[in-house]
Structure 1
């Protein structure tokens, strides 16, 4: 159920509305059979608009919405009546969604705020009626413009999870357990690799009513940057995190090597990842004595702050929250 309900990547065909044609019409009255041109303009074609919705966290609602076709504008008519514009189509998406064109691969829209509305595909303009072309030398123009066509093509919607802190680590490092203890989230937890197949978000309550968002992300394996395991599907979700919390279990065979592999995968996927703030948390530390903690600390990078924690005994969790909050404030000020 977890795997099918989290949809973070879809392909859809979109077409904005065509503009309505301008009218070629001449006014005829009881007393004047040639009262002049009065053709109205055509209506605008419908836009396709993306709208941010903070209550959505997946693209699941668009899974079977494969064709998005906006309404065409109506043609103009006599007595200078403008045709009705086509109805705009609004597509609600979760925050952190980007829209790309399939053919060019270029990013076209990015939705980061609740209620943010961006016209993704513009409808075609309506054509001008013949009343717009009347001149002193051409008082009965026979010309009216056709409406402009809309735009169409295959598009991609891609979700990148928005969170202040992203949990990074190998499968079964204890990320889901930590999230369940620090937040009200209830991720799936089991004693085997790749328990987490989709990102899980939770709010960490700090002090004085303050809070921050933390994301439990699927575990990295060596070669993830090349697409192995969950590969790119996982790595793109950590692009938006301000801080990356590296979780390394105390019973790891080589703590430094584990950190170096995680660091390397991030660098190979996107070197800009290395500009983020890092924090290391050594999980399952309730099994360590002071001597072992000191030995492990010597192996860890000196330029990255670290803390020993235990989700079971809640050892070091307050210190971890303080460390993350301080780092978040430094990131926002810089």
Structure 2
């Protein structure tokens, strides 16, 4: 039986799984914290040992797909920038390939691309040839499938929907990418939580949100705001109305260009804020072109943490962007 291994390298955890043949059910799973030592060489060594354990005594060549929370520069797995790992201009694919040796065939992918492909293989995008997947977590990432093919782009950064602009006036919010007015700077988790707590601390608005968090502003999460909005809290509803519209504009513009059959919404923020997600879907119906909406169905991501492992393993097994 041929073995393929999928890796998901994020800012907090390194997760890995081995798959046999065409199965999307893992034979074995490994998870560990990334830890404080984020030097590329240290992470490569730990990852290589994990891969070797999962590969076991397989006599056949083993394919390895790695999804990285990073902006990639090329098909050789060069990390242009990864704020989570604090990497910039790191030849990650070259380092890992050299450490593993000729027995392993390696592909390195953006983590959201791997997640999107995982949903296409065994999740909410199964059976769809044209897909836009948008994940709202700490930041906002996107994955694109067109004609049944993963779209990585000329410089490997297709799908960066989080950095499309939804505001461009003088008050547009600054983003970690160096730009202003990105949808991530409004709806991405790190910015959203900071804004919620800042507004509650500075204005002490009449709202039930703080009470829902046990009386501590520092304990408030987007989930508390979502619960309050569902109960008709005026401040929470006003904030969600603003943010749902901005997210809908970004989604609508992307769909106008891509004409996707399937829109998948996922990520930690949207998983915990069903009211915000529903409001954004309603606004999307108002802002997206009618022709783009006609073939569209919207679904919630199904595979959770396993999506990136399944997707990375399958991309490598199928020979997508293998490093030669």
Which category of TM-score, normalised to the shorter sequence, fits these structures? Answer: under 0.3
Looking at secondary structure, tell me which structure has more helix per residue. Answer: 2
Higher RCO (C-alpha 8 Å, min separation 6)? 2
- State the structure with more CA Rg: 1
State the TM-score, normalized to the length of structure 2. Answer: 0.27
